[in-house]
Amino acid sequence: MTQPLRILLIDDNRSDRLLVLRELKREFDQLDVQQINSSGEFSRAIKSGNFDAVVTDFQLRWTTGLDILETVRQHYPRCPVVMFTNTGTEEVAVEAMKLGLDDYILKEPNRYIRVPTAVRIALERRQVQQRAALLEIRLQGLLNQVKIGIFRSNSEGTLLEANRAFLELLGAESLAQASELNLIDTRHYYSLLIDLPPPQQQEQEVQLHRSNGTEFWALLTTTLNTVEGITVIDGLIEDITERKQGEVALQELNATLEARVQKRTAELEAVNQDLEEFTYSISHDLRAPLRAIQGFAQILLEDIGPSLDASNSECLQRILANTKQLNTLITDLLAYSRMRRVEVALEPVNLSVALTDVLATLKPELQERQAQIDLEEPLPMVRANRPMLNQVLINLLLNAVKFVADGVQPQVRVWAVENRPDEAAGEPSTVRLYLEDNGIGIASEHQQQIFSPFARLHSEADYPGTGIGLAIARKGIERMGGQIGVESQLGQGSRFWIELPAGKP
């Protein structure tokens, strides 16, 4: 059930009290009115506090309306007070309003009806003020729990409001101390904001001073606002000292890493230079005596070969075969070394053209083995290094026609498949080139091993070679950003494949 509205009605004139009471009853359904006619009654009412609003005359036999107002305000600051009189003046009305009077009504016949309305408006205003005060208390409590400093300043640099975090960040005990020490120069930030277009907001990383003189890094966000016609600066301060220290540490670490990279690069360049010199030594110094041995053995074989017995003739044949094999090994080692070190420039390459050139280069070897090569054209474009790709294709084709059973004609089928993924996913198109042979096949446990240098699954007598060809192919494909693999079973041939980025003509 709704509680009745409790009103103190203070007036010496009984007729006036009755008229006011009549109007109040018309306005409010539930009403509890205490009629006060003496100072004793007023004192008891003030002591009990059993009222919600006060309606008083100004001129009373035992006091004045201003004294009534001051007493009520002293004990109950939020209680509405309405003054209804015919003896007051404009000066009295102004003074009463300064003391917190809610409304001032002259006692005239047509104005009695205004008293209930004035009471209702005053009560509603007090309720709104009370709710606003409660909200302000709750908001201030929340702001004090936030770890980010929040403040408001006027354009002259005076701090008006701030939360606890703001004072703690600046090491200040009060707003007055923070303003006095000028710990944050809001006048400077006002000058930066005033010329900005709406919303006149700025975010910057600044160094601020605490009250003890120490510095800290802060992320400062300031906004120019207008509150009740007054220009204010609202700001947020977040301590970012740890982040800035982390950035400095990261910069120092990057500098250290960069120095290490430069040192390592210099060391690698020196190693590459040594390797270049070593390669030159192999190419010239080692091949020179090898050619001499091969030449003298060939001369001996031609000059005295017919007069030698079978054993000595076989020795000369072995010398020639071994020098030839060693020369091939040196050539392959140099090719492998170049494949690792050479600068790789990629460009669109037509696979059909590349394979045609390679087949022309290998024509003598292919004719000697009576190999049959079937190209399923047209073949797509790839992004590759043309010389490096040619070397890879040569090695794969030679490998395909070499490892076949005795009495079997080598047959190699070559075709390509283009993979076009979802363009929206941002994945590049690729081309996979297959070389399928009818050779002896490779056991599954050896299919990764064959791409390592000097990997041999068969004896030199059965299948001559250096064991580096597939290693060169793998290194070349990797240098071009591609992949290489094999699918094979013993006795059923092998299907080698290389995958490279698709190229555009």
Query: Of the candidates 140, 166, 187, which is a domain's last residue?
Result: 140
C-alpha to C-alpha distance for 501 and 349, rounded to whole angstroms: 11
Please give the residue that has the higher pLDDT: either 143 or 419.
419
Same domain membership, residue 136 and residue 18: yes
The answer to whether residue 197 is domain-embedded is yes
The answer to whether residue 420 is domain-embedded is yes
Please give the residue that has the higher pLDDT: either 474 or 301.
474
293 pLDDT higher than 80? no
| Closest by Cα among 363, 360, 340, 342 to 352 | 360
Backbone angles phi, psi at 205, to 5 degrees: -95, 125
What are 441's strand-pairing partners?
A: none
Banded pLDDT at 380 (limits 50, 70, 90) = very high
Same domain membership, residue 375 and residue 390: yes
Same domain membership, residue 193 and residue 162: yes
53-56: strand order across its sheet? 31-36, 5-10, 53-56, 81-85, 103-106
Judged by average pLDDT, the poorest of 163-172, 228-237, 453-462 is 453-462
Phi-psi domain of 118 (left: phi exceeds 0; alpha: psi -120 through 50; beta: other): alpha
486 neighbors 495 (Cβ within 8 angstroms): yes
Q: Which helix (H) or strand (E) holds 54?
A: strand 53-56
Query: Of the candidates 177, 209, 239, which is a domain's last residue?
Result: 239
Task: Note if the pTM is more than 0.75.
Answer: no
The answer to whether residue 337 is domain-embedded is no
Same domain membership, residue 407 and residue 365: yes
Query: Of the candidates 318, 352, 367, which is a domain's last residue?
Result: 318
pLDDT at 192: 85
Same domain membership, residue 380 and residue 364: yes
Please give the residue that has the higher pLDDT: either 1 or 445.
445
Same domain membership, residue 134 and residue 20: yes
Same domain membership, residue 44 and residue 192: no
- Which domain covers residue 94, as residue numbers? 5-140
pLDDT at 44: 95
| Closest by Cα among 81, 87, 79, 23 to 48 | 79
Banded pLDDT at 32 (limits 50, 70, 90) = very high
* Exposure of 221 in the CB half-sphere (CA atoms within 13 A): 8
The CATH code of the domain that includes 22 is 3.40.50.2300
What is the arithmetic mean of pLDDT over 363-367? 90
The CATH code of the domain that includes 488 is 3.30.565.10
The answer to whether residue 325 is domain-embedded is no
Judged by average pLDDT, the poorest of 282-296, 353-367, 474-488 is 282-296
Same domain membership, residue 235 and residue 186: yes
| Closest by Cα among 126, 123, 75, 122 to 103 | 122
Same domain membership, residue 305 and residue 402: no
467 pLDDT higher than 70? no
Same domain membership, residue 78 and residue 44: yes
Q: Please state the domain count of the chain.
A: 4
SS3 147: coil
What is the arithmetic mean of pLDDT over 179-207? 85
Same domain membership, residue 167 and residue 127: no
- All residues at 6 or more sequence positions from 400 whose CB lies less than 8 Å from its CB, including other chains: 410, 412, 435, 437, 439, 494, 496
What is the arithmetic mean of pLDDT over 101-111? 87
Query: Which pair of structure tokens corresponds to residue 313?
Result: 């003739």
Same domain membership, residue 399 and residue 458: yes
The answer to whether residue 368 is domain-embedded is yes
CB atoms within 10 A of CB 454: 11
Banded pLDDT at 139 (limits 50, 70, 90) = low
pLDDT tens across 390-433, in order? 989 998 998 888 888 888 899 999 999 998 876 666 678 899 99
| Closest by Cα among 379, 375, 374 to 348 | 379
pLDDT tens across 77-100, in order? 989 999 988 876 778 888 888 888
The answer to whether residue 334 is domain-embedded is no
465 pLDDT higher than 90? no
The answer to whether residue 496 is domain-embedded is yes
The answer to whether residue 424 is domain-embedded is yes
C-alpha to C-alpha distance for 216 and 245, rounded to whole angstroms: 10
322 pLDDT higher than 90? no
The CATH code of the domain that includes 209 is 3.30.450.20
